[in-house]
Amino acid sequence: MIIGIMGAMPEEVAQLCEKLSDVQQETYAGVEYYRGSLAGKQVVVCCAGMGKANAAATTQVLAGRYGAEKIIFSGIAGNMTSKIGIGDVCVGRTVVYHDAQNDMICQSAPFLQEFPGDETLVNAAMQACERCGVKAIAGKIATGDTFVGDAETKRLIEEKCHPDCVEMEGAAVAQIAARNGVPCVILRAMSDNADEDGYEVLVVRDFSIAEYVRTATAIVETMIESL
């Protein structure tokens, strides 16, 4: 079994790459792919880049070129719920676009307006969170191509799809994975509250996300052990 592991930013996959053994590196279509072993499983780890187009293209490469049989996307997100807080995790039981015409998108494969996370992978992620001592929920993740960093945008997204967190890649990963018949799950550690304070910290100050990535990395590694 080959497991594809993705992130959007180099920081989101660097710690995982450091844990790989027997590594082979290849650059394909502008993305570096690291093939190796993690917890005794064959994996391909890559940084897709930010946004839906990058995420979709890289998911297709993982499925088509590298034969990934399962895909895990791990990264950070803006919190949209009171059920969890900064540093906690949302596992994508459902992933949806907040900035798309979903009734038109669903007219082509996989013919869905919302994309369910694979039940086995969702359960494995939740169990991994528990073993790592991380508070987590299995919830709804909303995806769009704009960083959400103001209260008004956050309110509009909340009214449209009522998500537990917001980010920039998950639905594209889930859509293309589903088109290829590849089980997938999206994991997000909360780095901010998708408001003005979050924009100031993450964008204006270019704040290090290493703390939140450490959480996600530990969860992914624990998941891989159980698969």
Domains of the chain: 2-226 (3.40.50.1580)
pLDDT band at 201 (very low <50, low <70, confident <90, very high): low
Query: Does the annotation mark 192 as catalytic?
Result: yes
Give me the pLDDT at residue 203, please: 54
**Pick the catalytic residue: 12, 88, 118, 169?**
12
- What is the amino acid identity at position 220? V
Q: How confident is the model at residue 147 (pLDDT cuts 50, 70, 90)?
A: confident
- pLDDT score at 204: 47
Burial class (CB in 10 A: 0-12, 13-18, 19+), 79: buried
**Residue 114 annotated as catalytic:** no
Task: Give the active site residue among 88, 164, 192, 195.
Answer: 192
User: Between 210-226 and 10-18, two packed helices, what is the crossing angle to 10 degrees?
Assistant: 50
pLDDT at 207 over 60: no
Label residue 214 by pLDDT band (50, 70, 90): confident
Instruction: Quote the pLDDT of residue 67.
Output: 97
